[in-house]
């Protein structure tokens, strides 16, 4: 009889002839039933294990489809388990950008090649790259978020520079603005995983303050025709 096929009449007759005249037939049947019963738990366990093994194999297959540089990417680990809304609320209170624009701007900087930004890779692997992003993006959606970030930075930069040059802020006020802006920027970098040494932070703050003082002095020269600025007393060369 072929394995897996139901028994035929010939097989049944042969079994009946072989068992005729033997008293041990009943005991033999009982043993076979017991063996069959003993085999059932193993068969059941095999059936229950099969879906789990299939799920495990699927997970391994999915992981193998993720590019190696995506698997090694370790930004945003400090907020793993955080939600999009929480990150978005923080940014809304302190900047003009959204959590989506922040995350994608960082990714565009990290996945830039000689030929451009790998927008397809970023979009397809967005949930693996950023913990609080739960959906994949099309390349067009990635580009849209990148463009929105760039536009907001340019407008915010123009607004800030005008505020620094138009004499609206005093020198002390301008230092306060720069300090607050620097603290927010440093915090975002630290959340991304950038390790900022104290010495580097102090040096960056000093350089920024120096640049802003220079901006303020030069803007005063633009606003006044006098050789000497009436506010700070600095003298300027007028060509």
User: What digits encode the pLDDT tens for the residues 166-224?
Assistant: 888 888 888 889 889 989 999 999 999 888 888 888 888 888 888 888 887 778 777 76
**Residue 235's CB: how many other CB atoms inside 10 A?**
11
Stronger pLDDT, 1 or 196, i.e. the higher one: 196
Q: Are residues 182 and 233 in the same domain?
A: yes
Q: Are residues 204 and 147 in the same domain?
A: no
Q: For residue 12, tell me if it sits in a domain.
A: no
Q: Are residues 143 and 170 in the same domain?
A: no
Output the pTM of the full model: 0.65
Between CA 73 and CA 79 the distance in angstroms is 14
Q: Are residues 147 and 179 in the same domain?
A: no
Q: For residue 18, tell me if it sits in a domain.
A: no
Q: For residue 112, tell me if it sits in a domain.
A: yes
Q: Which two tokens stand for residue 122?
A: 């970023």
Q: Are residues 147 and 190 in the same domain?
A: no
**Could you say which DSSP state residue 117 is in?**
E
What is the per-residue pLDDT for 88? Answer: 94
Q: Are residues 185 and 140 in the same domain?
A: no
Pick from 72, 71, 49, 69: nearest CA to 60? 71
**Residue 32 pLDDT more than 80?**
no
Between CA 160 and CA 91 the distance in angstroms is 18
Pick from 118, 65, 99: nearest CA to 191? 99
The SS3 call for residue 135 is coil
Between CA 179 and CA 205 the distance in angstroms is 8
| Domain end marker among 127, 152, 177 | 152
Q: For residue 228, tell me if it sits in a domain.
A: yes
Q: For residue 56, tell me if it sits in a domain.
A: no
What is the per-residue pLDDT for 6? Answer: 41
Q: Are residues 230 and 180 in the same domain?
A: yes
Local confidence band at 15 (pLDDT 50, 70, 90 cut-offs): very low
Q: Are residues 145 and 178 in the same domain?
A: no
Per residue in 61-115, pLDDT tens?
455 688 999 999 999 988 877 789 999 999 999 999 999 999 999 999 999 999 9
**Residue 55 pLDDT more than 70?**
no
Q: Are residues 113 and 86 in the same domain?
A: yes
Q: For residue 64, tell me if it sits in a domain.
A: no
Local confidence band at 235 (pLDDT 50, 70, 90 cut-offs): low
Contact 216, 171 (CB under 8 A): yes
137 Cβ neighbours under 8 A, 6+ residues apart:
104, 122, 123, 126, 145
Q: Are residues 170 and 217 in the same domain?
A: yes
> How many separate domains does the chain show?
2
Beta-bridged to residue 197, according to DSSP, are none
B/e letters for 36-73, b = 16+ CB within 10 Å, e = fewer, are: eeeeeeeeeeeeeeeeeeeeeeeeeeeeeeeeeebeeb
Q: For residue 189, tell me if it sits in a domain.
A: yes
Q: Are residues 221 and 198 in the same domain?
A: yes
Between CA 63 and CA 68 the distance in angstroms is 10
Contact 88, 99 (CB under 8 A): yes
| Domain end marker among 152, 178, 195 | 152
Per residue in 128-181, pLDDT tens?
999 999 999 999 999 999 999 999 999 999 999 899 888 888 888 888 898 899
Residue 179 lies in domain: 166-239
Contact 123, 141 (CB under 8 A): yes
Q: For residue 8, tell me if it sits in a domain.
A: no
| Domain end marker among 152, 181, 213 | 152
């Amino acid at each position: 009889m072929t394995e897996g096929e139901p028994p035929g009449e010939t097989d049944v007759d042969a079994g009946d002839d072989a068992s005729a005249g033997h008293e041990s037939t009943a005991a033999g049947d009982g043993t076979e039933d017991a063996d069959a019963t003993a085999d059932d738990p193993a068969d059941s366990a095999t059936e229950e294990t099969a879906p789990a093994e299939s799920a495990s194999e699927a997970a391994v297959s999915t992981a193998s489809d993720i590019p190696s540089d995506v698997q090694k990417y370790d930004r945003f680990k400090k907020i793993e388990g955080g939600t999009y809304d929480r990150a978005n609320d923080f940014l809304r209170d302190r900047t003009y950008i959204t959590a989506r624009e922040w995350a994608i701007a960082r990714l565009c900087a990290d996945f830039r090649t000689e030929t451009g930004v790998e927008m397809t890779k970023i979009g397809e692997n967005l949930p693996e790259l950023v913990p609080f992003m739960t959906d994949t993006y099309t390349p067009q959606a990635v580009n849209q978020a990148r463009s929105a970030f760039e536009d907001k930075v340019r407008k915010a930069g123009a607004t800030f520079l005008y505020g620094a040059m138009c004499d609206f802020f005093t020198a002390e006020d301008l230092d306060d603005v720069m300090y607050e802006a620097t603290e927010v920027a440093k915090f975002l970098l630290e959340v991304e995983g950038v390790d900022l040494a104290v010495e580097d932070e102090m040096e960056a703050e000093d350089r920024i303050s120096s640049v802003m003082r220079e901006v303020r002095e030069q803007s005063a020269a633009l606003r006044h025709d006098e050789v000497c600025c009436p506010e700070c007393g600095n003298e300027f060369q007028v060509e």
